[in-house]
Amino acid sequence: MKRRTPLIIALAAGTAAAGAMVAVTGPATAAPQDPAAAATLAANKADALVASRPSILHAGSNETFLRKKVIQSSGLNYVPYERTYNGLPVRGGDFVVVTDAAGRTKATSVAQSSPIGELSTAAKITSAAAATTARAQLKTVKDVEGTNLVVLAEEGQAAALAWETTVAGTGAEGASRLTVAVDAATGKVLRTTEHVTEAAGTGTGWINGTVAIDTTQSGSTYTLQDPSHTAIRCQDAANNTTFSGSDNVWGNGTGTNKETGCVDAFYVAQKQYAMLSSWLGRNGPNGSGGAWPIRVGLNDQNAYYDGTQIQIGKNTANQWIASADVVGHELAHGIDDTTPGGISRAGTQEFVADTIGAATEWFINNPNDAPDYQVGEEVNLVGSGPIRYMYNPSLAGDSNCYSSSTPGSEVHAAAGPGNHWFYLMAEGTNPTNGQPASTRCSGSGAITGLGIQNAMKIMYNAMLIKTSSSSYLKYRTWTLTAAKNLFPNSCTEFNTVKAAWDAVNVPAQTADPTCTGGGTTPPPTTTPPPTTGCSGTNATDVTIPDAGAAVNSSVTISGCARAASATSTIAVNIAHTYRGDLRVDLVAPDGTVYNLKATSTSDSADNVNTTYTKNLSSETANGAWQLRVQDTYARDTGYINTWTLTV
C-alpha cells in the first residue's frame, strides 16, 4: 500500500476563498497575545473558514465537521477537525486549519484528496461477520476492542463504507494490536493498521494476573510507557522514575512489589484508554490523547489524582491497590477535570468517578477481577472488604437515598445516592445477569436496566453538558437531556434514567426535559390506582401550561370508611419559576373547591413546597380528589411534581 502524502495548501492571510490559496513563504509573526484569547480567535476564524466550505475540504452536503481542542505552538494555533458522513466517522477525512496569533489563516492540511460523493450507509454484512474477518488476520486473538461502522476515505481510492475492528493478540511478527477495516458491502479487507510499532511485553500483576501490555523500547531497554500514548506510564513514586528493564517481562505477582503494582495499574490505564475510545469516542483520559503518570508507592491507604499525576497507595497488608475500579476511578477524576466545568462539585465528584471506574472494570472483563458494582473489592483496603457498594451503599455505611444533607456530606459518603442511581439505570432493580437486586428508596415498580455501556454513554454525555455549578439536581437534568439527545427515537432510555433518579429521591427539576412518543415504555398514568387507607400520593409529573387552562392531578382514596378529618393535610410540591402566578385548589369528590393558594403579583420566588391544613369534615373521605393548578400569568413555567392527601 502506498504511503499517504497529506495535501498541504496555504491560504492568503485573512482569505477564506479557495481560489486565493498560495504558499506561505515565511514564518508567522505577531505581537504577543493572551493564549486563551488567541485560541478562541483561532477557533472562530477557522469555523468561519470551514463554514464557507472551500473546495480544498472536498466537502459534500452529507458531511459535517467537528472542531477539536485548539493546540498552540510557537505563536501558531492548530485547529483540528474531524469529519462525519451522515453521522459516521470518516477515516481519512480529518484536517487542520493553522492560524497566526492574529487569527489570520496561514495554511490548511487536508488528508482527503477527493470528495466522498454519494455513498450508501447501509451495511450488507453484519458487524459480527466483520469482526470474524478481523480476528482471522491474527494467529491468536486475546481481545476484540469493538466494531464500529465508518467511512474509509483512502488516498487515491473511492470512499467505502467499512466495519472497523481492533483486535489484539499475536501476528506473524509477534505481538499485535491491529485495526482492520472490512468492506461493509463485500466483506473484503480494505486496510489494516498495526499499533504495535516498538515493543510489547508481558507482566504479572497480583490482581490481574499475567497480562499483555504495550511497552516502549529504546535500544536494549524497555520501559513501562505506552508507545502510542506516551503520557501513559507507570513510575516509582519514590523518585518519579518510569520502571525499566532489559527483558520486557514485568512483575512477579507479589502484591507488595512496586513493579507488580505497576503492571496492574499500567494494564488498567491502557484498557481504560481503549474503553474511552470504543464506548465513548473520547481520545484518552484528557480528551486530547494524553493522560497523567501513574506513580506506585504512596505510603498511605489511599490513591488520588491531583491534576498532574495518579498516586497509588497500599492496603493494610502493604499490597499496592491498583485494581481496575480503583485505577479507573482515579483516572476518572482526570476525565471529570478535563470535561466542561471541571471536577464535579456538591458531593457528586466521587460517584462520577465510581461510574467510570465500574465501566472500566466491565470493559476489561478480566476473570481475575470479574466485573461487578463493588468498589475496591480486590484490594481489600483496610481488611473489611469493598470500599463502596453501588447497588446498596448502606452496606458500607453510606446512604442509598438523596436528601438535602447529601451535598454537604463527606465526599465519599455523598457518592451513595449517585452510585445507587447509576446501578438502577445500568442494571435495574432485578438484574438477570447475576448481579444483585437493588431496592428503591421510594415509589414502586421494577426498573429494567439499560446495560453498563448505555448507562456510561448517558453519564459521559451528561458530563459534556456539565458546568462549574454541578450538583445532584443538575446531574438529574443533564442525564435526562443526554438520554433524550442520544436516543431521539425512543423514550425507553429517558424513562429509565428518570425512574432511577426518582427511586433514589433526587427530586424533579424545572429544567428537566420531557419525552413523548417513540419509546417502548408507555407514559405513566396521571391517575394512580386507588389507595387503601386514608392517605394517598400522586408523584406523576403534570405540566402546567403557561397562562393556560387549569390542570388536575388525582388521588383516589378507598378503604377509609368515615368522614374526612377537620385537620386534613395536603402536602404540595410544585416546580415553577414564579410561584405567584399559580392558583392551587383542592377539589373534593363531590366537586366542592377548597382554595389552598391564591395568586400574587409580588411573590416571585420559585416553587411551591407547602403542606396545607384544611377542615374537610363535611366530605366523605373515599373518592377521587383532585389537585387543580392554574398558571394565570405569562412567561414562567412549571409542573406538579408530587402531592399527598391525608384525610
The CATH number assigned to the domain holding 440 equals 1.10.390.10
Q: Is residue 333 part of a domain?
A: no
Lowest mean pLDDT among 20-24, 96-100, 192-196, 582-586: 20-24
Q: Is residue 295 part of a domain?
A: yes
Q: Is residue 327 part of a domain?
A: no
Q: Does the pLDDT of residue 67 top 70, yes or no? A: yes
Higher pLDDT, 13 or 252: 252
Q: Does the pLDDT of residue 196 top 70, yes or no? A: no
The confidence score (pLDDT) of residue 20 equals 22
CATH of the domain at 595: 2.60.120.260
The confidence score (pLDDT) of residue 202 equals 54
Mean pLDDT of 52-63: 87
Cell, residue 174: 509477534
CATH of the domain at 257: 3.10.170.10
Mean pLDDT of 271-293: 89
Q: Is residue 269 part of a domain?
A: yes
Q: Which residues pair with 192 in a beta bridge?
A: 180
Amino acid at 78: Y
Q: Is residue 89 located within the same domain as residue 163?
A: no
| Alpha-carbon distance values, 535 to 570, 588, 626 (Å) | 10, 14, 13
| Alpha-carbon distance values, 197 to 136, 138, 193, 256, 581 (Å) | 20, 16, 10, 32, 67
Mean pLDDT of 8-31: 30
Higher pLDDT, 627 or 78: 627
- CA angle centred on 570, ends 565 and 572, rounded to 5°: 180
**CA neighbours closer than 13 Å in the CB half-sphere of residue 564:** 27
pLDDT mean across residues, the chain: 84
Q: Does the pLDDT of residue 263 top 90, yes or no? A: yes
Mean pLDDT of 558-571: 90
pTM > 0.85 = no
Q: Is residue 192 located within the same domain as residue 225?
A: no
CB 43 within 8 A of CB 79: yes
Q: Is residue 216 located within the same domain as residue 277?
A: yes
The confidence score (pLDDT) of residue 591 equals 86
Q: Is residue 382 located within the same domain as residue 501?
A: yes
Q: Is residue 557 located within the same domain as residue 472?
A: no
Q: Is residue 469 located within the same domain as residue 583?
A: no
* 83 phi, psi to nearest 5 deg: -115, 145
Q: Between the ranges 22-26, 155-159, 453-457, where is the mean pLDDT highest?
A: 453-457
The confidence score (pLDDT) of residue 8 equals 31
Q: Which residues pair with 210 in a beta bridge?
A: 204
Give me the percent of the chain exceeding a pLDDT of 70: 87
Question: pLDDT digits over 403-459, tens only?
Answer: 999 998 888 899 999 999 999 999 999 999 999 999 999 989 999 999 999 999 999
Number of domains in the chain: 5
Q: Is residue 188 located within the same domain as residue 209?
A: no
H or E segment at 271?
helix 258-275
Q: Is residue 379 located within the same domain as residue 422?
A: yes
For residue 45, give its domain range.
Answer: 7-110
Q: Among the three residues 307, 322, 337, which one is the final residue of a domain in this structure?
A: 322
CATH of the domain at 167: 3.10.450.40
Q: Is residue 342 part of a domain?
A: no
Lowest mean pLDDT among 132-146, 475-489, 612-626: 475-489
Q: Is residue 454 located within the same domain as residue 576?
A: no
Q: Is residue 60 part of a domain?
A: yes
pLDDT grade for 270, boundaries at 50, 70 and 90: very high
H or E segment at 639?
strand 638-646
Q: Is residue 215 part of a domain?
A: yes
Q: Does the pLDDT of residue 156 top 90, yes or no? A: no
Q: Is residue 338 part of a domain?
A: no
Mean pLDDT of 9-26: 28
Lowest mean pLDDT among 440-444, 479-483, 627-631, 632-636: 632-636
Q: Is residue 80 located within the same domain as residue 49?
A: yes
Question: pLDDT digits over 509-527, tens only?
Answer: 887 888 886 533 333 333 3
Give me the percent of the chain exceeding a pLDDT of 90: 47
Q: Is residue 176 located within the same domain as residue 41?
A: no
Q: Between the ranges 150-159, 181-190, 300-309, 514-523, where is the mean pLDDT highest?
A: 181-190
Q: Among the three residues 143, 165, 196, which one is the final residue of a domain in this structure?
A: 196
Sort strands 160-171 and 174-183 into parallel, antiparallel or unpaired: antiparallel
pLDDT grade for 190, boundaries at 50, 70 and 90: very high
Q: Is residue 489 located within the same domain as residue 375?
A: yes
Question: pLDDT digits over 314-332, tens only?
Answer: 999 999 999 999 999 999 9
CB count within 10 Å of CB 443 equals 14
Q: Among the three residues 110, 136, 170, which one is the final residue of a domain in this structure?
A: 110
Q: Does the pLDDT of residue 379 top 80, yes or no? A: yes
Amino acid at 122: A
Q: Cα(410)–Cα(346) distance, rounded to whole angstroms?
A: 10
- CA angle centred on 231, ends 377 and 345, rounded to 5°: 55
